[in-house]
């Protein structure tokens, strides 16, 4: 007797899509069959699509310390409502997640509040690389470093980055790097400020494409020298992704994610929307979205993360008069997958490739596959039912975000998450205009970081 069957579904597997019944037992995928087998609970997919639960390698839930913008409960509710069942949370919280007490504090807050499974990053700072080995006992999913200034985490200089990479290589962990050239940004920002400009275009000009891909090139160079596993976060341009793709093709364990907003918004949207579309790196020139989609098609982008990075409405509104007064980051986690899948289908990207981008590849890169990231027998029954035909309009009031704003407001979407399961338990059920979280805070479990990777 199975615990659950999802009947008559287009099941997105790793190599192909099967029209069949999907069976779950003891929280795991147990069988895919066209036969009718006995199950305690039955859900009729009625020909809709079942995707593996998405694995988001890049979220900011602001917990602990910055919870006016979001917390682990609201952030994870928005995640599962968007089909994301596992999240890797960044260390830019207060206190900074950089040592044992701060890591354990975050872990306990998340364990109490999260409805999604979660892995946690540690910060690589200018002075903690000598402690990387001992910090591995905490089982972080990896270490995060910034090559440019951030208000929440100290940036590392090249030598410090190399030292950290060597230590992380010795620990067989991985490093995720925010790549922007700090000197260039500082110089250009001052120059542009002096000229009196403070509109979104000024911000885009202060952090040009080349300030990003130069830093990606440098991070890749250092990673090759150190031999470390490097994950380049949120590449906004195909040029950055190509640098990684070439290193990867040469046999180096280097991967790259792009962020959802770069696939859907551009600098003209930023000019129109204002501070609520301000992020780092910034939105790029019109046409960049299409070029990123082409990079996805060519296989040069490993995966897509959300980089969901909430701030309060008041904090964002500070930038109405001047972009220099706004913290960078956007709310997007709840609508990310419906947008990605809807647009992917429109662009004839195979469903199996979309599943790779949002679930399988991040799971492989962070070595939690096949427990996570794919509909595979024996893996955790993390999945979501998706209606590819339902049309709706994004309204931030109908999200679980603690702060009801998103730069995607008003955008029309084709396709909607109808139901999400985590380890075989329903965690979200859709209803217009906003569905229900069907588990208690704390249902989400800690995902221990594992060394190595099973990425191709
Ligand atoms: Zn981020």
**pLDDT tens-digit map of 169-188:** 999 999 999 999 999 999 99
The whole-angstrom separation of Cα 20 and Cα 11 is 7
CA of 8 to the centre of ligand 1 (A): 38
CA of 221 to the centre of ligand 1 (A): 22
CA of 21 to the centre of ligand 1 (A): 38
Report pTM. Answer: 0.97
pLDDT at 415: 98
Question: Do the beta carbons of residue 286 and residue 227 sit within 8 Å?
Answer: no
pLDDT at 454: 72
The whole-angstrom separation of Cα 174 and Cα 167 is 10
CA of 297 to the centre of ligand 1 (A): 24
- The closest of 221, 328, 372, 238 to 292, measured between CA atoms, is 238
Query: Is the model's pLDDT at 238 over the cut of 60?
Result: yes
CA of 386 to the centre of ligand 1 (A): 27
CA of 299 to the centre of ligand 1 (A): 23
pLDDT at 346: 97
pLDDT at 381: 98
Ion ligand 1 nearby residues (CB, 5 A): 307
User: Does 45 map to a domain?
Assistant: no
pLDDT at 453: 74
Cβ contacts of 166 within 8 Å, gap of 6 or more = 129, 226, 228
- Both tokens of 226, joined, read 């150190």
The whole-angstrom separation of Cα 87 and Cα 314 is 26
Cβ contacts of 249 within 8 Å, gap of 6 or more = none
Query: Is the model's pLDDT at 268 over the cut of 90?
Result: yes
User: Does a cis peptide bond (omega within 30 degrees of 0) precede residue 433?
Assistant: yes
CA of 390 to the centre of ligand 1 (A): 30
Q: What is the CA radius of gyration of the chain?
A: 21
Higher pLDDT, 248 or 450: 248
Cβ contacts of 289 within 8 Å, gap of 6 or more = 262, 263, 264, 265, 266
User: Does 22 map to a domain?
Assistant: no
The whole-angstrom separation of Cα 103 and Cα 23 is 37
Question: Do the beta carbons of residue 425 and residue 439 sit within 8 Å?
Answer: yes
Tell me what the mean pLDDT of segment 209-235 comes to.
98
CA of 63 to the centre of ligand 1 (A): 14
The helix (run of H) or strand (run of E) holding residue 74 is helix 72-81
Cβ contacts of 254 within 8 Å, gap of 6 or more = 220, 223, 224, 229, 230, 231, 232, 244, 247, 248
The upper half-sphere exposure of residue 256, i.e. CA atoms within 13 Å in the direction of its Cβ, equals: 30
CA of 303 to the centre of ligand 1 (A): 15
CA of 281 to the centre of ligand 1 (A): 10
Query: Is the model's pLDDT at 225 over the cut of 80?
Result: yes
Question: Do the beta carbons of residue 70 and residue 109 sit within 8 Å?
Answer: no
Cβ contacts of 183 within 8 Å, gap of 6 or more = none
User: Does 132 map to a domain?
Assistant: yes
pLDDT at 319: 86
CA of 119 to the centre of ligand 1 (A): 15
User: Does 427 map to a domain?
Assistant: no
What proportion of the chain, given as a percentage, has pLDDT over 70?
100
CA of 309 to the centre of ligand 1 (A): 6
CA of 307 to the centre of ligand 1 (A): 5
Neighbours of 35 (CB within 10 A): 8
Number of domains present in the structure of the chain: 1
CA of 259 to the centre of ligand 1 (A): 9
CA of 180 to the centre of ligand 1 (A): 12
For 374-421, how does the pLDDT look when each residue is reduced to its tens digit (9 = 90+)? 999 999 999 999 999 999 999 999 999 999 999 999 999 999 999 999
User: Does 255 map to a domain?
Assistant: yes
User: Does 70 map to a domain?
Assistant: yes
CATH (domain of 340) = 3.20.20.140
CA of 397 to the centre of ligand 1 (A): 23
The whole-angstrom separation of Cα 169 and Cα 163 is 10
What proportion of the chain, given as a percentage, has pLDDT over 90?
97
Q: State whether residue 348 is helix, strand or coil.
A: coil
pLDDT at 7: 98
Give residue 344's domain range. 53-365
Task: Scan for tokens 């690389």, then name that residue.
Answer: 129
The whole-angstrom separation of Cα 9 and Cα 4 is 13
CA of 146 to the centre of ligand 1 (A): 10
CA of 143 to the centre of ligand 1 (A): 13
User: Does 248 map to a domain?
Assistant: yes
Average pLDDT, the chain: 97
For 91-139, how does the pLDDT look when each residue is reduced to its tens digit (9 = 90+)? 999 999 999 999 999 999 999 999 999 999 999 999 999 999 999 999 9
**Rounded (10°) angle between helices 158-170 and 209-226:** 40
CA of 58 to the centre of ligand 1 (A): 6
CA of 37 to the centre of ligand 1 (A): 44
For 26-85, how does the pLDDT look when each residue is reduced to its tens digit (9 = 90+)? 999 999 999 999 999 999 999 999 999 999 999 999 999 999 999 999 999 999 999 999
Query: Is the model's pLDDT at 456 over the cut of 70?
Result: no
Query: Is the model's pLDDT at 455 over the cut of 80?
Result: no
Backbone angles phi, psi at 332, to 5 degrees: -155, 0
Question: Do the beta carbons of residue 242 and residue 200 sit within 8 Å?
Answer: no
Lowest-pLDDT choice from 316-325, 414-423, 437-446: 316-325
The whole-angstrom separation of Cα 85 and Cα 371 is 12
The helix (run of H) or strand (run of E) holding residue 39 is strand 39-44
Burial 255-286 (b: 16+ CB within 10 A, else e): bbbbbbbbbbbbbebbeebbbbbbbbbbbbee
Q: State whether residue 256 is helix, strand or coil.
A: strand
pLDDT at 264: 98
The whole-angstrom separation of Cα 311 and Cα 317 is 10
CA of 131 to the centre of ligand 1 (A): 23
CA of 16 to the centre of ligand 1 (A): 32
Question: Do the beta carbons of residue 177 and residue 233 sit within 8 Å?
Answer: yes
- The closest of 353, 292, 280, 289 to 323, measured between CA atoms, is 280
Burial 93-109 (b: 16+ CB within 10 A, else e): beebbbbeebbebbbeb
Question: Do the beta carbons of residue 76 and residue 424 sit within 8 Å?
Answer: no
């Amino acid at each position: 007797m199975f615990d659950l069957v999802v009947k008559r579904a287009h099941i997105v597997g790793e190599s192909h899509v099967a029209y069949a019944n999907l069976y779950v037992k003891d929280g795991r995928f147990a069988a895919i069959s066209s036969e009718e087998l006995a199950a305690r609970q039955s859900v009729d997919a009625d020909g809709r699509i079942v995707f593996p639960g998405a694995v988001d390698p890049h979220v900011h839930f602001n917990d602990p310390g910055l919870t006016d913008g979001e917390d682990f409960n609201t952030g994870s509710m928005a995640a599962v409502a968007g089909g994301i069942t596992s999240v890797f949370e960044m260390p830019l919280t207060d206190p900074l997640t950089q040592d044992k007490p701060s890591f354990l504090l975050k872990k306990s807050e998340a364990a109490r509040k999260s409805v999604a499974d979660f892995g946690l990053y540690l910060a690589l700072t200018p002075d903690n690389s000598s402690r990387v080995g001992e910090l591995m006992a905490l089982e972080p999913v990896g270490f995060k470093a910034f090559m440019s200034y951030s208000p929440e985490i100290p940036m590392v200089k090249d030598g410090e980055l190399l030292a950290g990479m060597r230590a992380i290589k010795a620990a067989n962990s991985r490093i995720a790097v925010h790549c922007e050239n700090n000197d260039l940004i500082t110089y250009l920002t001052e120059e542009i400020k002096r000229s009196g400009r403070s509109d979104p275009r000024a911000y885009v000009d202060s952090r040009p494409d080349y300030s990003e891909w130069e830093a990606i090139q440098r991070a890749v160079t250092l990673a090759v020298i150190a031999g470390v596993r490097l994950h380049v976060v949120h590449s906004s341009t195909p040029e950055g992704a190509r640098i990684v793709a070439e290193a990867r093709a040469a046999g180096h364990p280097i991967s790259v994610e792009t962020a959802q907003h770069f696939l859907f918004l551009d600098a003209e949207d930023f000019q129109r929307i204002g501070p609520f579309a301000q992020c780092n790196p910034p939105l790029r020139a019109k046409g960049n979205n299409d070029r990123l989609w082409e990079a996805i098609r060519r296989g040069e982008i490993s995966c897509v993360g959300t980089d969901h990075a909430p701030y309060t409405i008041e904090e964002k509104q500070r930038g109405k008069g001047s972009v220099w007064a706004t913290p960078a980051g956007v709310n997007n986690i709840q609508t990310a997958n419906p947008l990605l899948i809807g647009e992917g289908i429109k662009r004839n990207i195979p469903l199996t490739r979309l599943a790779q981008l949002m679930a399988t590849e991040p799971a492989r890169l962070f070595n939690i596959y096949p427990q996570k990231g794919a509909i595979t027998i024996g893996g955790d029954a993390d999945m979501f039912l998706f209606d590819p035909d339902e049309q709706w309009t994004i309204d931030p009031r109908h999200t679980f975000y603690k702060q009801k704003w998103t730069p995607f407001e008003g955008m029309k979407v084709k396709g909607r998450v109808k139901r999400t399961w985590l380890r075989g338990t329903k965690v979200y059920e859709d209803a217009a205009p906003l569905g229900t979280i069907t588990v208690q805070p704390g249902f989400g479990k800690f995902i221990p970081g594992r060394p190595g990777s099973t990425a191709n």
